[in-house]
């Protein structure tokens, strides 16, 4: 176990190497999170994986070329340049296949990924037979070697992060339109292909810069996981991108710091695991799309639907029995309500209990009868009115048969918007003239149903 002094030294970044590694991984996390948000919305999550695997043959070829020219094959700028070139070629191959054939994006990316990675493995096999191959250390680009990052890596990451943030700010509107509807953007005259290539170029730069930190295998997780985690917290693109960058930066900081306390564990793997932890927490407790909040919303929706169905059933029974407000008779037998829907006795009594707690029904005069309050009658009329509005809409505009319209209206009436209500209300002038707020039911009403 690390001592308290060691933990404190890592947290305050006292050691030069620790400070360099942590800052580099934080910058990389911010850039990856920002670009990963656009990738996720473009539905090209596999593109990061394709790019990372496409860089492998470039690393091997640049090493062989440098050695053949009498230079040092282990020069990081040369290796990254080669990785960038083959990464761009991989992007171009994906775009070419997508534009010139009927093959979809996922299939094109899968083809390019497997072919380039296979070529890279074959090239690395050839390098191992070279006299200089044993000292190449190219496996660090596959699995990452964060601890070996130096000042030149820091300078590269600072430059790439600044470029990514600057382009994202200047072209935010264009990238947003590209992500959500590229055909609409093309119709407006925007250079969609140029924007697509520019976005892929930025992603390629981030991918190549992250090879030294997390490796080409794990860089896809660092690209997509922060963006996917941020998606659970908001539906706003700008907030999502900022949150994704923050989650990526926090993952890099925590992962690099934790790896300092765990011997013989690659920092890249720890960084990805920390990002995965952020994803799991976001998936469970995210305020917009988290599992728990969706469960609570679904539970509340079911309760609201049960209350509305109960009130509508009560009103329709009273309506079918030709009971008017003037008579002030709002008592309905329990068994008559039970037959209106596929309710169990326990479920129906639970709905009645909740309606009683909300002041919609009064304590019944008899053990098997339910009495609507004045408030309950008003809300029952409103609920029935909205249901009839939907029935009218479905019959007139969706050509739904009268025998099926009640079931179809049940599926959509609980999400009736104000604008649609206003439009449908214009159809009710005849009912207003007649003095009724509730349109007539399209179904035949039999007294005593």
5-14, 65-74, 102-111, 375-384: range with lowest mean pLDDT: 5-14
* Mean pLDDT, rounded, for 369-389: 82
User: What's the distance, Cα to Cα, between the start and end of the chain in Å?
Assistant: 75
Describe the crossing of helices 105-128 and 76-100 by its angle, rounded to 10 degrees: 150
Q: Tell me how far apart the alpha carbons of residues 275 and 273 are, in angstroms, rounded to a whole number.
A: 5
pLDDT tens, residue by residue, 118-154: 898 888 888 877 766 554 566 666 666 666 677 777 7
Q: Which fold has domain 4-288?
A: ABC transporter involved in vitamin B12 uptake, BtuC (1.10.3470)
What is the spatial distance between Cα 164 and Cα 162, in angstroms, rounded to a whole number? Answer: 6
Averaged pLDDT, 79-87:
84
All structural domains of the chain with their residue ranges: 4-288, 294-433
**Cα–Cα dist 406/109, whole Å:** 47
pLDDT at 232: 93
The confidence score (pLDDT) of residue 323 equals 45
CA Rg value for the chain: 32
CATH number listed for the domain at residues 294-433: 1.10.10.10
Q: What is the pLDDT of residue 29?
A: 87
- For residues 406-434, average pLDDT: 60
Higher pLDDT: 52 or 276? It is 276
- Could you tell me which residue, 232 or 320, shows the higher pLDDT? 232
Q: How confident is the model at residue 319 (pLDDT cuts 50, 70, 90)?
A: confident
pLDDT at 430 over 60: no
- The stretch 356-375 carries a mean pLDDT of 76
Provide mean pLDDT across the span 238-255: 90
pLDDT score at 365 = 55
> Degrees (nearest 5) of the Cα angle 326, 331, 336?
130
Question: Which pLDDT belongs to residue 328?
Answer: 47
pLDDT class for 364, splitting at 50, 70, 90? low
Q: How far apart are CA 313 and CA 366, in angstroms?
A: 19
Q: Is the pLDDT at 262 greater than 90, yes or no?
A: no
Confidence at residue 226, expressed as pLDDT on a 0 to 100 scale: 92
What is the average pLDDT score of the chain? 78
Angle at 323 between CA 318 and CA 329, to 5 degrees: 90
| Phi, psi for 196 (deg, rounded to 5) | -65, -45
Q: Once rounded to an integer, what is the mean pLDDT over residues 269-298?
A: 89
- Residue 142's nearest CA partner among 52, 35, 28 is 52
What pLDDT sits at residue 83?
Answer: 84
């Amino acid at each position: 176990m690390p001592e308290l002094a060691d933990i404190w030294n890592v947290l305050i970044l006292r050691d030069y190497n620790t400070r360099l590694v942590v800052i580099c991984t934080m910058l990389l996390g911010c850039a990856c999170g920002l670009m990963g948000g656009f990738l996720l919305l473009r539905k090209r999550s596999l593109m990061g994986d394709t790019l990372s695997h496409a860089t492998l043959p470039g690393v091997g070829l640049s090493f062989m070329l440098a050695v053949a020219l009498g230079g040092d094959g282990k020069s990081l700028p040369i290796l990254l340049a080669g990785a960038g070139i083959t990464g761009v070629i991989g992007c171009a191959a994906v775009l070419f296949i997508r534009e010139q054939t009927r093959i979809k994006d996922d299939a094109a990316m899968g083809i390019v990924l497997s072919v380039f990675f296979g070529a890279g493995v074959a090239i690395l096999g050839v390098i191992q037979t070279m006299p200089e191959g044993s000292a190449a250390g190219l496996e660090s680009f596959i699995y990452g070697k964060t601890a070996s990052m130096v000042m030149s890596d820091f300078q590269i990451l600072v430059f790439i992060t600044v470029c990514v943030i600057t382009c994202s700010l200047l072209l935010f509107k264009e990238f947003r339109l590209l992500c959500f509807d590229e055909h609409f953007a093309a119709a407006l005259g925007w250079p969609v292909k140029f924007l697509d290539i520019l976005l892929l170029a930025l992603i390629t730069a981030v991918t190549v810069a992250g090879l030294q930190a997390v490796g080409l295998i794990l860089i896809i997780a660092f690209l997509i996981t922060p963006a996917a985690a941020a998606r659970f917290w908001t539906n706003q693109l700008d907030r999502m991108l900022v949150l994704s960058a923050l989650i990526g930066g926090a993952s890099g900081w925590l992962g690099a710091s934790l790896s300092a306390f765990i011997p013989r564990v690659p920092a890249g793997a720890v960084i990805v695991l920390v990002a995965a932890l952020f994803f799991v927490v976001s998936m469970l407790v995210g305020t917009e799309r988290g599992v728990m909040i969706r469960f609570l919303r679904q539970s509340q929706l079911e309760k609201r639907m049960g209350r509305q169905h109960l009130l509508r059933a009560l009103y329709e029974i009273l309506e079918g029995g030709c009971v008017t407000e003037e008579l002030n008779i709002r008592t309905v037998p329990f068994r008559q309500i039970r037959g209106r829907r596929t309710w169990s006795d326990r479920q129906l009594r639970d709905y009645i209990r909740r309606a009683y707690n909300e002041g919609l029904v009064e304590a019944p005069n008899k053990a098997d009868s339910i009495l609507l309050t004045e408030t309950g009658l008003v809300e029952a009329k409103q609920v029935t009115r909205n249901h009839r509005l939907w029935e009218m809409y479905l019959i007139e505009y969706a050509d739904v048969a009268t025998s099926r319209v009640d079931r179809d209206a049940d599926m959509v009436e609980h999400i009736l918007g104000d604008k649609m209500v206003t439009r449908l209300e214009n159809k009710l002038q005849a009912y207003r003239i007649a003095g009724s707020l509730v349109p007539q039911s399209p179904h035949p009403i039999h007294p005593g149903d």
